[in-house]
């Protein structure tokens, strides 16, 4: 049997195939993706759902001259395989390998870098306007966006502008009723009615001056190709509505679309996930949040849970199941999530707004204007803070300490373990005079016996973990674990020379403790898993300068560069934040 895929290395090769061979190529592409993701991990369901669409796009359009913009990028695996990266695809999301998302400096076919959602329409419109200004009226500009992403405010801003232009723009809606979790909101209901043929109101996209076509079956290759060829000849902004199935071609991925979004390793032949070990492991920080907010909500009726499209990833799903009237998935709408929380706070409620660290960047103005200026006690829970690993530069949560530290009225806390996370959540719901950001990492902690009785944490107070004679090490958050491991690599006498402090609060700093430390030690290290530019270490340096301390202070953390993909362990080692590197650093300083 001839294997078509082995002869396809670029879109030019693809266009040489007769149309009747394309369905066979689609099957081979699905098998290829399943084989590699099963062993190397990655985003599975989204890419399986757009196999036919991706083939059709590269078959019909003259890429890379014609421009494809993939929204988010979870759905771009087939695109990467067809655009001269098939031989490297097994390095996807690995250290030094391909990015898991489209990336401009990786390929000429990646016209725009994407990691967060809802940017494709604005970017493609900008390119289309640019082409027109340069006198190029033939170039095609195509934005492929999912139904969960198009509900975001930025996508509507792009649609609103595009509708009053004559730009050569095609927006393709990949409608599968799910992002990472099922899509939510009134627009999702509207699209569902369109698919059923029961939508009675005017077409919203036609009302925005788009030439609308669809909905059509996104897995019917001949039909998709035919419609794309027709749309190439239509001037102005166009909108193609495709119906697809996330996880198409793998039964388990179609049936459990949430779990198979990024399933980890699985059996490529059967599609079944590998059985989990019976070993009792410490909990994931997200689950500590999820179980704790339910526990607190049972006794505090003012607690409200809010997340922008991450109920599973944040574990707010536990509260949504237990208290469906008090927990909300607002869709991919971080700005709305923050200001919704602010509105609830004005009415005496205690909103726990759970947003991944990297996604909170999208709501920076709302944090300042709608929360901090009004000093509303919103409780921000920042999941995936610090290094997150294989998702790479767009997802590393390393900027939050720096970009939040400059905001007046905002408390910033980083728990060193699961127990501190529980206790700061408990403390926050007792009532605070200011908003608070609680940031914690991706993955598991270390505490098996984490479900301890609650105790109140004093705001702005750190703690002494270990006394020492020569050097002081100030840690924030779970970097305390790396420091503990580093000390275990040293001799007893060397350990006795090193004092360790868990500072807990980046803002307000524990000034009494800092006065003691800087008045005692001539060598001080600050260690954080955030950017050293403007971060926790910078706060300590500012304090030392203000009070005329002369101690040598060295800041250890994320350097002033974007950190690409790799496992958290690999990245920490490359940045000298692992235990061995820290032990070497401390030993040299002695």
Q: Which helix (H) or strand (E) holds 285?
A: helix 285-297
Instruction: Quote the CA–CA distance of 274 and 264 in Å, as a whole number.
Output: 9
* Residue 362 bears catalytic tag: yes
Q: Which helix (H) or strand (E) holds 277?
A: none
Question: Of the residues 85, 248, 284, 362, which is catalytic?
Answer: 362
Three-state SS for 29? helix
Instruction: Quote the CA–CA distance of 28 and 82 in Å, as a whole number.
Output: 12
Count of beta carbons in the 10 Å neighbourhood of residue 112 = 21
Distances (CA, A) of 472 to 65, 554, 590: 57, 11, 11
Instruction: Quote the CA–CA distance of 467 and 65 in Å, as a whole number.
Output: 63
Of 402, 418, 416, 413, which is closest to residue 454 (Cα–Cα)? 418
Question: Of the residues 41, 295, 334, 420, which is catalytic?
Answer: 334
Question: Of the residues 30, 103, 188, 246, which is catalytic?
Answer: 246
Give the contacts of 533 (CB within 8 A, at least 6 positions apart). 402, 560
Report angle CA 77, 81, 86 to the nearest 5 degrees: 130
Chain centroid to Cα 48, Å, comes to 20
Residue ranges of alpha helices (H) inside 378-532 are: 400-405, 418-430, 479-487, 492-496, 511-520
DSSP-assigned states of every residue in 16-53: TS-GGGHHHHHHHHHHHHHHHHHHH----HHHHTTHHH
- List residues bridging with 266 in a β-sheet: 273
* Residue 439 bears catalytic tag: no
Write out the catalytic residue numbers: 246, 334, 362
């Amino acid at each position: 049997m001839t294997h078509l895929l082995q002869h396809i290395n670029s879109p030019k090769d693809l266009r040489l195939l007769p149309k009747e061979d394309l369905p066979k190529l689609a099957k081979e592409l699905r098998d290829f993706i399943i084989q590699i993701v099963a062993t190397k991990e990655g985003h599975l369901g989204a890419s399986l759902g757009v196999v036919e669409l991706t083939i059709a796009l590269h078959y019909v359009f003259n890429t890379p001259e014609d421009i494809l913009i993939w929204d988010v990028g979870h759905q771009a695996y087939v695109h990467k395989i067809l655009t001269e990266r098939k031989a490297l695809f097994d390095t996807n999301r690995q250290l030094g390998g391909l990015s898991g998302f489209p990336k401009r400096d990786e390929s000429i076919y990646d016209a725009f870098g994407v990691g967060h959602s809802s940017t494709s329409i604005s970017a493609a419109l900008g390119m289309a306007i640019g082409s027109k200004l340069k006198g190029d009226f033939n170039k095609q500009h195509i934005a492929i966006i999912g139904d969960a992403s198009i509900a975001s405010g930025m996508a509507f801003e792009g649609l609103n502008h595009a509708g009053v232009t004559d730009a050569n723009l095609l927006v393709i809606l990949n409608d599968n009723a799910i992002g990472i979790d099922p899509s939510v909101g009134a627009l999702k209901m509207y699209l569902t009615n369109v698919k059923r043929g029961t939508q009675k109101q005017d077409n919203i996209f036609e009302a925005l001056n788009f030439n609308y076509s669809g909905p059509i079956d996104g897995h019917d290759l001949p039909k998709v190709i035919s419609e794309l060829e027709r749309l190439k000849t239509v001037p102005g902004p166009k909108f193609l509505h495709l119906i697809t199935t996330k996880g198409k071609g793998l039964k388990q991925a179609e049936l459990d679309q949430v779990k198979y979004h990024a399933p980890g390793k699985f059996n490529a032949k059967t599609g079944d996930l590998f059985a989990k070990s019976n070993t009792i492991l410490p909990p994931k920080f997200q689950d500590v949040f999820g179980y704790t907010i339910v526990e607190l909500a049972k006794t505090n009726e003012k607690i409200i849970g809010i997340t922008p499209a991450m109920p599973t990833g944040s574990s707010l799903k536990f509260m949504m199941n237990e208290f469906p009237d008090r927990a909300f998935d607002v869709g991919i709408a971080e700005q709305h999530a923050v200001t919704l929380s602010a509105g609830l706070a004005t009415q005496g409620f205690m909103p726990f707004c759970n947003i991944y660290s990297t996604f909170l960047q999208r709501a920076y103005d709302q944090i300042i204007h709608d929360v901090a200026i009004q000093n509303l006690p919103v409780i921000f829970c920042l999941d995936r803070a610090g290094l997150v690993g294989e998702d790479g530069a767009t997802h590393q949560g390393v900027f939050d300490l720096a970009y939040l530290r400059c905001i007046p009225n905002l408390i910033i806390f980083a728990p060193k373990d699961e127990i501190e996370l529980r206790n700061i959540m408990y403390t926050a719901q007792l009532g605070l005079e200011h908003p608070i950001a609680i940031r914690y990492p991706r993955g598991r902690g270390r505490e098996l016996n984490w479900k301890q009785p609650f105790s109140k944490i004093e705001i702005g107070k750190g703690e002494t973990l270990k006394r020492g004679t020569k050097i002081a090490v100030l840690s924030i958050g779970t970097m305390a674990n790396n420091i503990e491991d580093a000390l275990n690599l040293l001799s007893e006498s060397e350990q006795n020379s090193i004092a360790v402090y868990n500072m807990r609060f980046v803002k307000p700093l524990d000034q009494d403790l800092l006065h003691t430390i800087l008045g005692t030690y001539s060598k001080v290290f600050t260690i954080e898993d955030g950017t050293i530019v403007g971060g926790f270490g910078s706060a300590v340096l500012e304090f030392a300068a203000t009070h005329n301390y002369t101690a040598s202070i060295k800041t250890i953390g994320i350097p002033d560069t974007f950190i690409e993909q790799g496992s958290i362990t690999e990245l920490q080692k490359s940045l000298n934040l692992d235990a061995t590197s820290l032990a070497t650093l401390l030993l040299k300083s002695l």
